[in-house]
Amino acid sequence: MVGLWFLAVEHLRLGSWDLLKGYTGGDDRDIDPRIAMQIVNEAAICKNRVRKSNYISHQGFEILNGLSFLASDVQVHNFFDEHTVSQAQALQETLATIRQNNGHYKGEVIAIDPHRIVSTSKRIMPKKKKQPNEPSRKMLQTFFSLDTQTGQPIGCGIGTTGVNTTKATFDLLKLTNKIKHNTALILADKEHFTEELIRGINTSNKFEFLVPAILNTRIKKIAATLNYNRKWAGYAIAETSFNFVNHDDKYRLIVQREGEIEAEYKYMPFLTLSDKSAVTLLCDRYKERWSIEEFFNFDGAMGFDRASTFNLNIRYGKMSLALIAQAATYQLRQKLAKPYSRWNSTHLSDAVFNKIDGDIRIEHDTIIVTSYNLPKEFGLHNAYQHLPQKLEEEGINPKMPWLYDLKLDFRFK
């Protein structure tokens, strides 16, 4: 677990300890923030219930969290059970603000996406299909918001019988609006094509919006009668005004047509609240929405691809702490050389956090982590040597409160 100590430095830079104290209501001397730090580090190494593996306690994992033991399943469950959904949402809001200040969000295009997570919950519930060709399984419906330029998540929410897609999206956009003060373009999914959601966004006038329209019989007839402007072979665009049935509000409907032979035409309609040109929206911007799918593939193993319980306060808590792990790991990746910085979370955990030999000892007021034979190609040597001085130059206190105000430094041999 020597490699995982690199992440402790990024937690200092991110301010993770203050986030955990705010979430738990604890202070520097309390156990609860340290249990939260254990859960964060479990997410970083893409493990669920690391505490089941007794050998971890002999690898320095518990020391990294400022503990002399590993919190048990019961302790972790009771820990989350003491905290509310609103506390987890407040944690996400503060984390997103910190990430904005640290430059993790750079673009003005935001992707939102409903993400179904396979669940092993024992409760009786309807089963759904994640993909049409897959068997039906118990699913947890989640919703994510992400900066498409950097691929970094802004926040997430959970859908329930009491919180449908429209309500969950409004909550997510409320969080997004706190860090995106200028009008951003929201790229949505077909599930977001609802009159209530589109009207609400249009009324608030805080975001531009682009969403694929459902190709029902009415929209299919509209698409077939439009006059198209041919852009290149097999591709044409047309647009018109559109209103939902029994509603007077007019919106901009853009339709792209693919194919050269009329009998083989394929129509893809989009509704937008943006004034940008149709070519810019469809050819340049909408393809950026797939960055959110890349995030799920890249960092999903950190805790966004599994759900063992449907207790909402517990799920919100675990996903919010996983967002802290993902943010710290993102900062670490900025120091890794290419192509290692593009390793997904599982590969990064296996190659860096778990597979580096070394030892840990204390000299005066500093924890010295010695790493043996770390490949220089990773580019980490210069970034983590003489660390206390580097942190002070950045205006960061090098003392780690969860490790009893000890400093941290690295040696490479």
Q: In order of start, what are the domains of the chain with their CATH numbers?
A: 2-82+311-412 (no CATH), 87-297 (3.90.350.10)
User: In this predicted structure, which of 23-37, 112-126, 203-217 has the lowest mean pLDDT?
Assistant: 112-126
**Mean pLDDT (whole number) for 362-373:** 93
Answer yes or no: are the C-beta atoms of 107 and 148 closer than 8 Å.
Answer: yes
Mean pLDDT of 306-326: 89
Q: Write out the two tokens for 89.
A: 């949402």
Please state the rounded mean pLDDT for residues 59-68: 85
Q: Tell me the pLDDT band of 54, cut-offs 50, 70 and 90.
A: low
Reading the block at residue 154, the tokens are: 């802004």
Would you report the helix, strand and coil content of the chain in percent, each value rounded to 5? 45, 20, 30
What are the distances in angstroms from CA 402 to CA 33, 36, 186, 366?
Answer: 8, 11, 39, 14
State how far the Cα of 201 lies from the Cα of 311, in Å rounded to an integer: 30
Distance separating alpha carbons of residues 394 and 74, to the nearest angstrom: 40
CB 139 within 8 A of CB 117: yes
Is residue 179 within 8 Å of residue 97, measured between CB atoms? Answer: yes
What is d(CA 20, CA 324) in angstroms, rounded to the nearest whole number? 9
Residues with Cβ within 8 Å of residue 305, at least 6 apart in sequence? 117, 118, 296
Q: How far apart are the first and last CA of the chain?
A: 17
The pLDDT-based confidence of 354 (bands split at 50, 70, 90) is confident
Structure tokens that stand for 344 in this block:
């997904």
- Enumerate the β-bridge partners of residue 255: 238, 269
- Residue 95 amino acid letter: L
> Quick one: CA torsion of 25, 30, 33, 38, rounded to 10 degrees?
-160
Report the range of poorest mean pLDDT among 115-129, 286-300, 316-330, 382-396.
115-129
DSSP 306-361: -BS---HHHHHHHHHHHHHHHHHHHHHHTTSPTTGGG--HHHHIIIIISS-EEEEE
Separation of alpha carbons 174 and 276, rounded Å: 23
168-226 pLDDT, tens digit per residue, is 999 999 999 988 766 899 999 999 999 999 999 999 888 999 999 999 999 999 999 99
Of the listed ranges 153-167, 330-344, 380-394, the one predicted with least confidence: 153-167
**How far apart are the C-alpha atoms of 191 and 375, rounded to whole Å?**
46
Kindly report the backbone phi and psi dihedral angles of residue 310, in degrees, each rounded to the nearest multiple of 5, phi listed first. -110, 10
Give the pLDDT band of residue 311 (cuts 50, 70, 90): confident
Nearest partner of 408 among 389, 395, 382, judged by Cα: 389
259 in Cβ contact with 79 (< 8 Å): no
Residue 11 has a pLDDT of 97
> What CA–CA distance (Å, rounded) separates 57 from 394?
33
CA within 13 Å, CB half, 164: 7
